Amino acid sequence: MTLRALHDAAREALDPVRYDYVAGGAGEERVLAANEQAFESYRLLPRVLCGSETRDTAVDLPGARQAAPVIVAPTAFHRLMHPDGERATARAAAAEGAVLVTGTAATTAVDAVVAAAREAAPDPAVWFQLYPHPRREVTEALVLRAEAAGCTALVVTVDSPVFGRHTRDLRNGFTDLPPGYAAENMRDLPGAPPGSLTDIPMSPALSWRDFAGIPRMTALPVLVKGVLHPADARLAVEHGASGVIVSNHGGRQCDAVPAAVDCLPAVVGAVAGRVPVLLDGGVRRGSDVAVALALGAAAVGVGRPVVWGLAAGGEAGARTVLATLRDEYDHTLALCGGRRNADLTQDMVVRKGGTW
């Protein structure tokens, strides 16, 4: 099945309110649209006769050696989309050698997510996405929970000082989880009430000082997710980040920012090779992966496509999405004369309005 067919099947399978929660964005959904459209404006300039018969697309990332270059971006509430929920996504990612980022807003506790990943592969990489809590002890308890579960890195989301205004959710009245579902990682934390959507911390009070405390709480590498400004990428590295994820949260936060991929080159320049830079937002085909890697990303994340796969076909559906993107990317690499990801370089990307 193509990714488009899986998306259609997911739309059929899902309750429309849940479909809208995943598909939608903030405001007029300008950024949601821009993330995908931006990839339309980039094209690849292949190199020829490079002897690229044998190819290796694996990447070394913080807490993940020899991983697929496409990772599963953190998306909330998988049990709303399929009864097997995060366990299915975890098995799919592990089977495909892809990093799974599970998170604060998962409907399955992080230890069960890691256990499911281990059913599919001996040494899977599961990262934990953290919404830092304004109360340090709550953040610390979440960090310890992720570490004890066997996560190999933390991802701190910094683009959500306040929750984005998701137009479709407001229209549909989808402002909390239905009965029977909870944000399981929020259970039994010191002073934090369990599990409702509104318990998930988002605080405009947080600052780089708070962030800097997180790498001190743990031996795990800590990545920062949701950076668009190159100055923030520099600050992230200065405050101990082991990786920077360029992301506008899939167009679900500020509806006036650029497409994620358009912010990538400046962030790559600011980070200057000190830590890996990743990108998510709008990646829908293998050639999008190739463009992002050529522009300097070490790997890319996919959000909605994996959820569509999960909703349409559980573990097998999510696996199909990851396998398809990997296969398409490898094919594109071959077409561009590359043997390794590093063979894709900035001069091989051209832009509408620029050189074509």
Ligand X SMILES: CCCCC(=O)C(=O)O
Ligand Y SMILES: Cc1cc2nc3c(=O)[nH]c(=O)nc-3n(C[C@H](O)[C@H](O)[C@H](O)COP(=O)(O)O)c2cc1C
The residues annotated with a catalytic role in the active site are 249
Is residue 7 a contact residue for ligand Y (CB under 6 A)? no
| Contact in structure between 204 and 160 (CB atoms under 8 Å) | no
What residues numbered 292-311 form the site for ligand Y, per CB under 6 A?
A: 302-304
What residues numbered 174-203 form the site for ligand X, per CB under 6 A?
A: 197, 200
- Return the SS3 of 224: strand
Give how many residues touch ligand X by CB under 6 A: 6
| Contact in structure between 77 and 291 (CB atoms under 8 Å) | no
- Return the SS3 of 188: coil
Q: Which does 247 bind (CB under 5 to 8 A by kind): ligand X, ligand Y, none?
A: ligand Y
Give the type of residue at 355.
T
| Contact in structure between 192 and 133 (CB atoms under 8 Å) | yes
Is residue 105 a contact residue for ligand X (CB under 6 A)? yes
Judged by CB under 6 A, which stretch of 92-100, 114-122, 246-254, 332-340 contacts ligand Y? 246-254
Q: How far is the CB of 158 from ligand X (least distance, A)?
A: 12
Which of 69, 281, 286, 338 lies at the binding interface for ligand Y (CB under 6 A)?
281
Nearest-CB residue to ligand Y? Answer: 303
b/e burial code for range 109-120 (CB count within 10 A of at least 16 → b): bbbbbbbbbbeb
What residues numbered 214-233 form the site for ligand X, per CB under 6 A?
A: none
178: exposed, middle or buried (Cβ count in 10 Å: 0-12, 13-18, 19+): exposed
Is residue 254 a contact residue for ligand X (CB under 6 A)? no
What residues numbered 22-81 form the site for ligand Y, per CB under 6 A?
A: 22, 35, 73-76
* Strands 349-351 vs 299-302: parallel, antiparallel or unpaired: unpaired
Which of 79, 87, 133, 252 lies at the binding interface for ligand X (CB under 6 A)?
252
What residues numbered 29-88 form the site for ligand X, per CB under 6 A?
A: 76
- To 10 degrees, the CA torsion angle through 210, 244, 73, 64? -100
Q: How far is the CB of 249 from ligand Y (least distance, A)?
A: 5
Q: How far is the CB of 185 from ligand Y (least distance, A)?
A: 11
Q: Which does 108 bind (CB under 5 to 8 A by kind): ligand Y, ligand X, none?
A: none
For residue 123, how many other CB atoms are within 10 A of its CB? 12
**Which of residues 252 and 326 has its CB atom nearest to ligand X in the complex?**
252
| Contact in structure between 274 and 55 (CB atoms under 8 Å) | no
Q: How far is the CB of 55 from ligand X (least distance, A)?
A: 35
User: Hunting for tokens 């929660």 — which residue is that?
Assistant: 21
Q: Tell me how far CA of residue 216 lies from CA of 124, 200, 220, 231, in angstroms.
A: 24, 22, 9, 22
**Which of residues 33 and 335 has its CB atom nearest to ligand Y in the complex?**
33
Q: Please give the residue ranges that form the binding site for ligand Y (CB under 6 A).
A: 21-22, 35, 73-76, 103, 105, 129, 157, 225, 247, 249-250, 252, 280-283, 302-304
Q: Please give the residue ranges that form the binding site for ligand X (CB under 6 A).
A: 76, 105, 197, 200, 249, 252
